[in-house]
Structure 1
Amino acid sequence: MSNTWILVADAARARLFELTRKGADPAEIACYSYPEGRSPGREQDHGRLPRVQESNSPSRHAIEPRTSLRDKHAHRFADTLSAVVQQGRQDGCYDKLILMGPPRFLGVLHDSLDEQTAARVVGEVRNDLLTLTPAQLRTHLPA
Structure 2
Amino acid sequence: MAFTPASLEDSFEITNLVVEYNVRYDNGDPLFAETFTEDGVFDSSLNGIFEGRKALVDFMNEFATRYTGRHFCANHVVTTDGERARHESYFYFLVGSKIATVGRYEDELVRVDGRWKFKRRVFRHDEKKQQ
Higher Rg: 1
Using structure 2 for the length normalisation, give the TM-score. Answer: 0.26
User: Highest relative contact order (Cα 8 Å, sep 6+), 1 or 2?
Assistant: 1
Q: Which has the higher helix share?
A: 1
